[in-house]
């Protein structure tokens, strides 16, 4: 790396600016790797345009939306709206990471490339939803206006290191949410579209995960504290949208995203890959953060087990009612 420091392993001497500079070569390396493995794709190729027809308004032949017009399941419809509204706030996300990471050098190139790739996700999802009539278009637009009018401010906007830690987990969480939504959608076309989006999200996760690993090598104490803070306070970026709590509860029951999935498929894979709970040589603050992270993960596993039991009991009740 370009920058060496006598403070390696301690919190002293590291600022966001110094870490940004120290990680520049890693960003360039990861950017080049990303560009070699990623494949361009066309959003319009994934949209069933032949299913589309006019909506009422300016067209005399317009047909009003009705739930029966789409083959998408109820839980698929709920999750698709949540996932799309999350993607819609891309301007706020771009502003935040551009402010934190900068617009110059490898960092800036990555920020713009990431934004361009993420832009495809909102495009293809909205086109699919409207062409296939999977959701009420008027309600979707009202939700979009309300959500974007509020803007978005991350819990981690105060720190570049916290933001890198957050997106390492959040990109994987988004990938899992998209894939499970596709599986539960009831529409193979939707499943194929979301699988394509999920591939992008996974590559974004790998970029940030590897960057986080490099940060552990440079400033393990500070990075451990950032990971602890992010994991303990983790919230998905869509938490401010209209009706999010109810939708999140339905998605949890529908096994699209819940505590068990969050623990097993999002947090654990990143922590395990980076061997976060096995890192040694930490200073007092880093060791404290590592211990607290381990305790939190144990507690979350216990909460996830309780959720699993409640969900199994619910399924049994529903099966009994159906049989009766």
- Binding residue positions: 87, 118, 121, 171, 201, 204
Q: Which of 117, 126, 101, 112 is nearest to 46 (CA)?
A: 126
The total of other beta-carbon atoms located within 10 Å of residue 7's CB is: 15
CA distance 69 to 33: 43
Per-residue tokens: 184: 């539960």
> Residue positions in the annotated binding site for Fe cation?
87, 118, 121, 171, 201, 204
Closest CA to 232 of 156, 176, 283: 156
CB–CB of 100/166 below 8 Å? Answer: no
SS3 of residue 13 by DSSP: coil
197 contact partners, CB below 8 Å, separation of at least 6 = 120, 121, 124, 125, 178
Q: CA-to-CA distance for 195 and 189, rounded, in angstroms?
A: 10
């Amino acid at each position: 790396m370009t920058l060496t420091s006598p403070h390696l392993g301690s919190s002293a001497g590291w600022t966001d600016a110094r870490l940004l500079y120290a990680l520049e070569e890693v960003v360039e390396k990861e950017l080049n790797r990303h560009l070699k493995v990623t494949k361009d794709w066309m959003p319009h190729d994934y949209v069933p345009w032949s299913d589309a027809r006019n909506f009422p308004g300016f067209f005399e032949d317009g047909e009003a939306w009705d739930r029966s017009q789409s083959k998408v399941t109820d839980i698929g419809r709920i999750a698709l709206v949540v996932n799309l509204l999350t993607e819609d706030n891309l301007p706020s996300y771009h502003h935040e990471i551009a402010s934190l990471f900068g617009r110059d050098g490898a960092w800036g190139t990555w920020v713009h490339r990431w934004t361009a790739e993420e832009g495809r996700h909102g495009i293809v999802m909205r086109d699919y939803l409207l062409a296939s009539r999977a959701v009420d278009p008027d309600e979707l637009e009202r939700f979009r206006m309300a959500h974007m009018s509020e803007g978005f401010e991350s819990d981690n906007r105060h720190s570049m290191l916290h933001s890198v830690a957050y997106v390492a987990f959040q990109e994987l969480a988004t990938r899992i949410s998209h894939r499970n939504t596709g599986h539960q959608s009831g529409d193979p076309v939707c499943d194929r579209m979301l699988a394509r989006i999920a591939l992008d999200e996974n590559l974004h996760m790998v970029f940030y995960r590897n960057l986080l690993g490099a940060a552990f090598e440079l400033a393990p104490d500070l990075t451990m504290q950032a990971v602890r803070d992010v994991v303990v306070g983790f919230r998905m970026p869509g938490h401010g949208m209209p009706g999010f709590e109810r939708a999140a509860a339905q998605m949890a029951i529908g096994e699209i995203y819940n505590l068990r999935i969050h623990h097993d498929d999002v947090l654990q894979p990143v922590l395990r890959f980076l061997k976060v709970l096995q890192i040694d040589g930490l200073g007092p603050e880093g060791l404290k953060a590592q211990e607290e992270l381990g305790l939190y993960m144990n507690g979350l596993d216990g909460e996830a087990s309780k959720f699993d039991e409640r969900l199994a009991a619910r399924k049994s009740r529903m099966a009994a009612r159906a049989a009766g």
